[in-house]
Amino acid sequence: MKEGKVIPVIRSSMPEFDEYVEMIRPLWESRWLSNMGKNHEELTVKLRDYLKVNELLLFVNGHMALELCLQAMGLTGEVITTPFTFASTTHAIVRNGLKPVFCDIKEDDYTMDPDKIEALITPKTSAIVPVHVYGMPCDVEKIGQIAKKHNLKVIYDAAHAFGVEVNGKGIGSYGDASMYSFHATKVYHSIEGGAIATKDPAIADRLTRLRDFGIRDEEIVDEIGPNAKMNEFCAAMGLLNLVNVDRHIAKRKAVTQRYREQLNGCVKILPAEKTNVRYNYAYFPIVTDHRDKLMEELGKQNIRVRKYFYPLTKDMECYRGQFADQTPVAEHVSSHVLALPIYEEMTIEDVDRVCRAIRQALGE
Ligand SMILES: *Cc1c(COP(=O)(O)O)cnc(C)c1O
């Protein structure tokens, strides 16, 4: 028999229902439902300021943003990336006709190991696509130096890293471009949505056209692009969630601190916080030798957890047998990691229930 109310692994933050209704009411008047409407334009400016980035473009979702960004960069040949990520990162590379070359991750924060990048660079390498996984910032300084030395582009998958800052700078201001996801399951969402942040006005200009069928003006279509625009209903949700996001992040911080206190020494957790980083507490992953048993025991108590990320993208069915790249750290983490429940409405009592269940399952 299962015990207790369900603790989901993730629960989307929502504004008040009436607030959303008020926000979308004008759309019944204007009938301007998509194509860079009022909400879209307002959200673009507000997010650019909040995220502390130069240029920001909105998209229908994070995946299309990343896929089109790689296209806009005009990359060729090989792209160095991480297998410890969501399918989207690797798919975006492959769907651009590029070859992913998988670099191993660091043992402490699971981001790309910069010391292993240079050995993977060949004359065909055109870019590096690291992931700020779980919202943990990559070693942006070292990666930037390597890219400069070898004349490579750096495009960050910052899907997890909304609001993260390093040295007071928005995480999206590092590298040539960064992709944010505003999917319903992320720290900040617009139901579905995404963005590219970039310093390069030429890339921003190209992306403006690429996300809208490559249309320059009424008579000139000079790029082969799909439809990847954000609509007004999603932008409305984005505007309302932006008002509350700092409060949401503060709630997640309290959850994270409680987990840290209760689980320290019992399972491996993310490294101690650095003082020069503003975190967003997107996920709380643990690494343990008893992963599958733990998941089963938590399931019995109605506590939902996720093997996030398992399998590695390079081992997914669609890529099976294609990549021989050795990434032993990623292999190990992927087969021992569990993402614990964390969401804005989670209470300290919920956290304590999860921690009790974990200690019980591990016989501590
Ligand atoms: C969510 C996510 C994406 C894709 O974003 P969508 O907005 O869902 O398309 C890409 N990469 C990572 C690491 C993600 O977690």
CATH number (domain holding residue 148): 3.40.640.10
Domain membership flag for residue 11: no
Q: Residue 237: name the closest of 202, 194, 190 by CA.
A: 190
Same domain, 226 and 266: no
- Residue numbers of the domain that contains 331: 245-361
Same domain, 78 and 176: yes
SS3 content of the chain, % helix, strand, coil (to 5): 40, 15, 45
- Model pLDDT for residues 268-305, shown as the tens digit of each residue: 999 999 999 999 999 999 999 999 999 999 999 999 99
Best residue for ligand 1 mutational test, from 63, 136, 155, 180 (most atoms within 8 Å of Cβ): 63
Q: What is the reported pLDDT for 363? A: 87
Same domain, 226 and 279: no
Question: What is the mean pLDDT of the segment spanning 97-103?
Answer: 98
Same domain, 75 and 218: yes
Q: Is the pLDDT of residue 313 over 70?
A: yes
Question: What is the mean pLDDT of the segment spanning 138-148?
Answer: 98
- Model pLDDT for residues 243-257, shown as the tens digit of each residue: 999 999 999 999 999
Residue nearest atom 7 in ligand 1 by C-alpha distance: 62
Query: Who's near 317: CB < 8 A, 6+ residues apart?
Result: none
Q: CB atoms < 10 A from the CB of 152, how many?
A: 19
Q: Are the beta carbons of 280 and 164 closer than 8 angstroms? A: yes
Q: What is the reported pLDDT for 5? A: 92
Question: What is the mean pLDDT of the segment spanning 156-181?
Answer: 98
Residue nearest atom 10 in ligand 1 by C-alpha distance: 88
C-alpha span between 2 and 296 (Å, rounded): 12
Mean pLDDT of the chain: 97
Query: How many structural domains are present in the chain?
Result: 2
Cα(362) to centroid of ligand 1, in Å? 32
Find the residues whose C-beta lies inside 6 A of ligand 1: 61-63, 85-86, 88-89, 131, 157, 159-160, 181, 183, 194
Cα(63) to centroid of ligand 1, in Å? 6
- Model pLDDT for residues 60-93, shown as the tens digit of each residue: 999 999 999 999 999 999 999 999 999 999 999 9
Atom of ligand 1 nearest to the CA of 61: 7
Same domain, 249 and 343: yes
Atom of ligand 1 nearest to the CA of 194: 7
Same domain, 146 and 288: no
The CA-based dihedral angle spanning residues 243, 244, 245, 246, taken in that order and rounded to the nearest 10 degrees: 100
Domain membership flag for residue 155: yes
Same domain, 21 and 136: yes
Peptide bond into 309 cis (omega under 30): yes
Same domain, 306 and 157: no
Residue nearest atom 8 in ligand 1 by C-alpha distance: 183
- What is residue 18's three-state secondary structure? helix
Cα(129) to centroid of ligand 1, in Å? 14
* pLDDT over 90 percentage in the chain: 98
Residue 364's pLDDT band, with cuts at 50, 70 and 90, is: confident
Q: Please give the order of strands across the beta sheet that includes 78-81.
A: 55-59, 194-198, 177-181, 153-157, 125-129, 78-81, 99-102
- Where residue 310 sits, what CATH number does that domain have? 3.90.1150.10
Q: What is the reported pLDDT for 334? A: 98
Same domain, 133 and 266: no
End-to-end CA distance of the chain: give it in Å, rounded.
23
Task: Give me the residue label for tokens 């963005």.
Answer: 195
Domain membership flag for residue 1: no
Q: What is the reported pLDDT for 2? A: 64
Question: What is the mean pLDDT of the segment spanning 220-229?
Answer: 97
Tell me which of 206, 239, 272 is where a domain ends.
239
Residue 16's pLDDT band, with cuts at 50, 70 and 90, is: very high
Tokens of 108: 């402490």
Same domain, 249 and 161: no
Same domain, 80 and 205: yes
Residue 1's pLDDT band, with cuts at 50, 70 and 90, is: low
Pairing of strands 194-198, 55-59: antiparallel
Same domain, 161 and 191: yes
